[in-house]
Structure formats: C-alpha cells, structure tokens
Amino acid sequence: MSVYDELIGQSHIIKTLTAAVDAADSGEESQEMTHAWIFTGPPGSGRSSAAIAFAQALVCKSKGCGTCNECITAKSSTHPDVEVLRSEGLSIKIDEIRELLTRTAWAPSMGGWRVVVMEDADRLTESAANALLKAIEEPGLRTVWLLCAPTLHDILPTIRSRCRHIQLHTPSNNDVAKFLVDKHQIAPKMADFA
C-alpha cells in the first residue's frame, strides 16, 4: 500500500514526488526537493489528492506507507504538522493567510516537515497572494508549500516563479476502470460502463 495508490493515471507525477521525498529524507541538497510546489490540472485530475499524498509521504517515517498514524492523520487533516486550507468562500482573504503564516512559522512538532496544502490557491485575493509570496520568498527552514489550482496562470507570476510545477492530467477511461476493478472489486463490464 502507498499514499499514491489513488492517483489514477499519474505515474509521471508519482515518480517526481517519490524522488522529492527520497531527496528530502536523505537531507542532501538536490534539485529534486524544493520548499514550494504548484499542482495544476483539470477538475477530476486529482491535484488536491496528489498534494495531500505528497504531504503524507513527507511526514511518514516510511515515505508514504498509507497505513501509519502519520499518513492517516495527514490525510484526515488532523496531523499537527500538516495544514490543509480549504476555501469556504469565493476567495481566500489576507486575514486567513496571516493567521496561516503565524501557525506555519512554528517548527514541526512530530516529524521533519511542516506542510501546508492550499487546495484553492487560485482564490487568493491580491493582498493575500502578496502576503503568501513573502512567505514563499523567505521560507521557513522545514516548511513546504503545496498550492493547488486549475492552471498555472491562476497563480500570480511572482509566486509561480518560485515554485516547482506539477501538471496532472485527466485519467483515461481504462485507468479509471482498472482502478475500480482492482481497488473496489467492481465487475470489469460495470467498471467500463462507469
């Protein structure tokens, strides 16, 4: 089992994220791991799921086993070192970002990383985006930012330029059908129909 099991048809992404977790775990400086990432893709591509799986892998002692306490609590948004910001309204305002920045300034309490997943980074107001930019420009020592948006152009250019981009695509019908058969034991004909 792995935290990446539910990322259907995204093997290119899994390879990149696994290499980043390996680099982060080794402690050696490399091009694989960075402090800020942008996950983009159309609706249904799994950009938020990919970001949360990456967060799980970063806080897991086994690099994303999917079954340990760290993986389970990171996925359910109850891990003390993983912050998931889901937008309730039409926009993310500067007050929300300032409050978030206060919490992310703390050192990780359990593992090696404090991870922030922002599911709707495209909803940042201009002032909120500028406040976030300052945090990304001057990152905390052990803080990783994972921003999710439909397209790269939904994020301010100044933020984009400081992040590593991960592009997800809509999984194929065959990949989805295979997942339904393998994971949920749905009959192959029904999986193809679905």
Residue 29: pLDDT band (50, 70, 90) is low
User: Partners of 114 in the beta sheet?
Assistant: 143
25-29, 164-168, 172-176 — which is least confidently predicted? Answer: 25-29
- What are the residues whose beta carbons fall under 8 Å from the beta carbon of 134, sequence distance 6 or more? none
Mode of pairing for the β-strands spanning 36-40 and 82-85? unpaired
Sheet arrangement for strand 82-85:
82-85, 114-118, 143-149, 36-40, 164-167
Predicted TM-score of the model (pTM): 0.89
Average pLDDT over residues 159-166: 94
Quote the pLDDT of residue 170. 84
pLDDT at 127 over 90: yes
Alpha helices in the chain (DSSP H): 11-26, 47-59, 69-75, 94-104, 126-137, 157-160, 173-184, 188-193
Q: What is the residue type of 62?
A: S
Q: Is the pLDDT of residue 163 over 90?
A: yes
Chain-wide mean pLDDT for the chain? 88
